Structure 1
Amino acid sequence: FGRRTQTALTLLQHLYVNPLITVEQARKKTELSYKAANSLIAVMQEKGILKEITGQSRNRIFAFEPYLELFRYNTVHKSG
């Protein structure tokens, strides 16, 4: 994350409370420009932290997949 490490940590902490996020929400939470927030989300996607879930090019929603997967795993194994 380079210079954006602290900003990325701020966003990551937010994702533990709210695991779905848009670029606009990330912009507001981090106080970055839209372009910088979009870039940060792109890096988080590359690292496997976020996954785009709408399949759209606009109004995209990103999920904190590694975190959500913990709940999916526990739900499957408890009910099975």
Structure 2
Amino acid sequence: FETIHPFLDGNGRVGRLLITFLLYERGVLRRPLLYLSHYFRLHQTEYYDRLQSVRDAGDWEGWLRFFLDGVAHVANEATETARRIVNLRERDRELVRQTLGPRTSRGLALLEQLYQRPIITVSMAQQLVDLSFANTNSLVNKLVDIQLLREMTGQRRNRRYVYDSYMALFLDDESESSGAEETPLA
């Protein structure tokens, strides 16, 4: 795909997405979760060199070795991130149990939803935990007090709250890669 360049822009992005979707389609992946762009961005020069070597010399073996190293790297990172999510979940469940008293069950219910929606409003939380707006607001404020949530707007109305420690698990991976080579892959 990178070689034929069918589009004026975005050929690399589309090609890298196709890798994941092809592996998913062929049953190699149960879900399209493999994000190889991260690895290619970390090793951008080698990525381009390997592609060029396939074009110029037919070095498919070198490309496949590089590609499979990337698959292993990304799979290991995903496994580590999953482990960190499990540890965070257990730590934060215990924090909620120790600090929320009679609101523990609703706090745990909201915490579970934060893994699918790490940025919420009180109205969103209200729908998730089935409490009055005032009681939901109180619950959210308690989660802010114990530093499980952080208000991110600085406003008095229409506030949004973020589950920072969860989001950090994903942002850390991105920030580590950004220092490697800053030129985006096409």
Identify the TM-score tier after normalising by the shorter chain. over 0.9
Say if 2:114 is the partner of 1:15: yes
> Could you tell me which amino acid in structure 2 is paired with residue 67 of structure 1?
Y
Look at both structures and tell me which one has the larger radius of gyration over its CA atoms: 2
Alignment counterpart, residue 175 of structure 2, candidates 57, 71, 76: 76
Give the match for residue 57 of structure 1.
Answer: 156
What's the CA shift for 1:57?
0.3
Count of residues in correspondence between the two structures: 80
The answer to which structure has the higher strand fraction is: 1
Unaligned segments of structure 1, at least 5 residues: none
Q: TM-score normalised to the size of structure 1? A: 0.94
Structure-1 separation of matches of 2:127 and 2:115: 16
Identity of aligned residues (%): 39
What's the CA shift for 1:75?
1.2
Give the match for residue 23 of structure 2.
Answer: none
Structure-2 separation of matches of 1:19 and 1:36: 20
Q: TM-score normalised to the size of structure 2? A: 0.42
What are the within-5 Å matches in structure 2 for residues 39-54 of structure 1?
A: 39-54=138-153
Q: What is the RMSD of the two structures over their aligned residues, measured on CA atoms?
A: 0.9
Give the match for residue 133 of structure 2.
Answer: 34
More relative contact order in 1 or in 2 (CA 8 Å, sep 6+)?
Answer: 1
> Could you tell me which amino acid in structure 2 is paired with residue 45 of structure 1?
V
